[in-house]
Amino acid sequence: MKTTSYTNGIPISPSLNYLSGDRDDPKKSLILKKRLITISILCIAVAIAISIIAKVLVSLINLVTNVSFYGSLSLKFNSPAFNHLGLWVIAIPAIGGIIVGFMALYGSKAIRGHGIPEAMEQILVNQSKIKPVIAFLKPVSSAIAIGTGGPFGAEGPIIATGGALGSTLGQLFKITSNERKIVLAAGATAGMAAIFGTPIAAVFLAIELLLFEFSPKAILPVALACITGAAGHHLLFESGPVFPMSDLKTPSNIALAIYSFMGIIIGFLSLILTKAVYWIEDIFEKLPIHWMWWPAIGGLAVGVVGYFAPHTLGVGYDNITNLLSGTLPLSIIFSLCFFKFLSWAIALGSGTSGGTLAPLLTIGGAAGAIIGSLIVNVFPNAGISIPMAALIGMSAMFAGASRAYLTSITFALEATMQSHALLPLLGACTASYLISFFLMENTIMTEKIARRGVFTPDSFEPDLLQKLTVAQMMGESDMVLSFKNTIKDACDWITENKYHDSYIITVDDDSAYAGIVKLANLYINNPDGNKLLKEIIDPVHFFLKNDDTLRTAAEVMAQNNTEALPVISAKGNKVIGILTYQDILSAYKLHLEENETANTQISLKRGRIKMLIKGRKLININDAPK
């Protein structure tokens, strides 16, 4: 590379000493580590609090259930399925819906819904800020809705409550929005771990649905919070698996293939389920009455369904355990599959306070058990187990509806402690995920906020700017000038050599880096060219080394409000180029160009599969009528 330097027209030595300014990587690294410790301690504190709140929530649900269906003041679990209220059972969920509607109207509308989409929205558009009142209103409203027969689980409300608590503490401690996102996710997933005792699944839930990143600064605090939440589960609830079942046998290759095929069927069912939920929600949106009364209408539907199918009422964790035992009569399994879906879809569409995970597990488990029973009757020697079929059904349903792929698999393993189920779960969840990915634009978690114009990330790629170095994207700088050169000298050299860069690097009398001169200033500041370059330089005392990442470059540019920085050799301390903000944008442009073809092919495949399923004829655009 040619390097030309002038001091009043005389070349100077290219061996330069450069100022590093305020850049001090060891100090910065130490500060970041101390900050990580601080955020981790805050996340652990949130996890301890949310574990206690989880116990209070479950006890409150039990209390409301016992008062509503049995007229007793007890904190012990009693399923509402065994009530003796007769037709009066229809009114109880409606009364609960009225109370929730009033709480939403006069407390906060944010208590409506199933928790995770609302938390995602606050992370994406509101700097992870959730109103503190949600930390109180959400568990109380959910306890009333579920305790009066709402077909939801406690995990959705506790996830929302944990997120609200984490966000509230994040606002009190004046941390950054990204740190507040981490504390919010830690509170939400610690709540899930406290309810189910599944810390690994909770960490994956944070990655797939809340954090939208995978980095030590995010994972470590969340993991510590989830471990703390799981410890709270073992201390306050139980020490064994939340859904105990008999030991499963290692499946044969034929059985693995059948379980994977079942995942395809469950994947299509997850599509139908998701579409139905939002179709019902659209119907409620068109009702000519105030939204405050919608939960009461939904509650009325829950009561009617509950009268004919009592097992659809309430949390229903016992239903999941019974499904996994393989001993339930087929009539009850059908009831849980269809009527639980009907009750839950109407209740959720009405905007009451509830969750999605437990109903998805129940519906999926029942569907898996039904499919497994049919296969066993047709192929009795295929080696299919009804409990295994129920387990992969509930996991594949969650994978297809939410696209939380890793969460679905690890949750099923942790909640049951059945290691032999790993391969069937992997095959079935992969199949269900593929169906969902190709045939559904949004998931049950993202459809609501997508309708509001909120885009949710669908990939977890490493930061592009961390993958590329300055040396890969920098432009060459053919000229280093003394700041005692005149503008005329510089302009003449630029004209003679057809120099096209936007900046010139300058050095002082000691050959130290002096700053950057913008070419535009050469012609604006002194038309006659007698002014010295040192009078118009931008005194930037920061530089980059060729082995720095583009992320470091972007941070230095942003912190110092400069559009370009000189690049020096990591070993030779010589100017070897210059990096501008256009070079950083070029990195993104190259990345987009590389992925454009792949994305186009995926879109075409999605469209072709949808058309084939609908029985439409594919037409080549060149053969279309003119």
Tell me the per-residue pLDDT of 599-617, one tens digit each, with 9 for 90 and over: 555 455 545 544 444 443 3
Residue 286 vs residue 586, higher pLDDT: 286
Instruction: Give tens-digit pLDDT for 550-594.
Output: 888 888 888 777 777 778 776 655 667 778 878 888 877 776 666
CB 115 within 8 A of CB 138: yes
pLDDT value of residue 125: 76
Which of 201, 206, 236 has the alpha carbon at shortest distance from 221?
206
- Which stretch of 269-278, 299-308, 583-592 has the lowest confidence by average pLDDT? 583-592
The mean pLDDT of 277-290, rounded to a whole number, is: 90
C-alpha 503/C-alpha 483 separation (Å) is 13
Looking at the predicted structure, is the pLDDT value of residue 71 above 60?
yes
> Is 44 in contact with 278 (CB distance < 8 Å)?
no
pLDDT in tens, 155-194: 888 888 888 898 888 888 878 888 899 999 999 999 999 9
**What integer is the mean pLDDT of 27-46?**
87
> What local confidence, expressed as pLDDT, does residue 355 receive?
75
Q: Which of 137-141, 196-200, 404-408, 490-494 has the lowest mean pLDDT?
A: 490-494
What percent of the chain lies above the pLDDT cut of 70?
A: 84
Amino acid 429: pLDDT: 96
Handedness of CA 400, 405, 407, 411 (dihedral sign): positive
Is the model's pLDDT at 303 over the cut of 50?
A: yes
Q: How far apart are CA 553 and CA 541, in angstroms?
A: 14
The pLDDT assigned to 456 comes to 73
Region 22-51: what's the mean pLDDT? Answer: 82
Please classify residue 99 by burial: count the beta carbons closer than 10 Å to its beta carbon, then call 0-12 exposed, 13-18 middle and 19+ buried.
Answer: middle
**Of 312, 328, 433, 300, nearest to 362 (Cα)?**
312
pLDDT > 90: what percent of the chain? Answer: 36
Q: How confident is the model at residue 220 (pLDDT cuts 50, 70, 90)?
A: very high
Strands 575-580 and 564-568, bridge-based pairing: antiparallel
Higher pLDDT, 411 or 509: 411
Taking only the tens place, the pLDDT of each residue in 224-260 is: 999 999 999 999 988 889 999 988 988 999 999 999 9
* pTM, rounded to two decimals: 0.78
- Residue 124 binned pLDDT confidence (cut-offs 50, 70, 90): confident
pLDDT tens readout for residues 482-530: 778 887 888 877 777 766 667 777 777 766 667 777 777 776 656 666 7
Instruction: Please provide residue 455's backbone torsions phi and psi, each rounded to the nearest 5 degrees.
Output: -90, 130
The mean per-residue pLDDT over the stretch 430-447 comes to 90
What is the reported pLDDT for 603?
A: 53
Average pLDDT, the chain: 81
What is the pLDDT averaged over residues 127-154? Answer: 85
Across the range 97-107, mean pLDDT stands at: 90
The span from the CA of 455 to the CA of 614, in Å, is 28
To which H or E segment does residue 272 belong?
helix 253-285
The number of C-alpha atoms within 13 Å of 18 and in the hemisphere containing its C-beta is 26
For β-strands 513-518 and 544-545, DSSP reports them as unpaired
| First and final C-alpha spacing in the chain | 56
Total Cβ atoms within 10 A of residue 459 = 6
Does the pLDDT value for residue 620 go beyond 50?
no
DSSP letter assigned to residue 535: G
Query: What's the pLDDT at 17?
Result: 33
Mean pLDDT of 435-444: 90
Burial profile 160-195: b = 16 or more Cβ within 10 angstroms, e = fewer: bbbbbbbbbbbbeeebeeebbbbbbbbbbbbbbbbb
The pLDDT score that the predictor gives to residue 507 is: 73
Phi, psi of 554, deg, nearest 5 = -65, -40
**Burial of 26 (C-beta count, 10 Å sphere; 0-12/13-18/19+):** exposed
pLDDT score, position 622: 38
pLDDT for position 231: 95
Quote the pLDDT of residue 121: 75
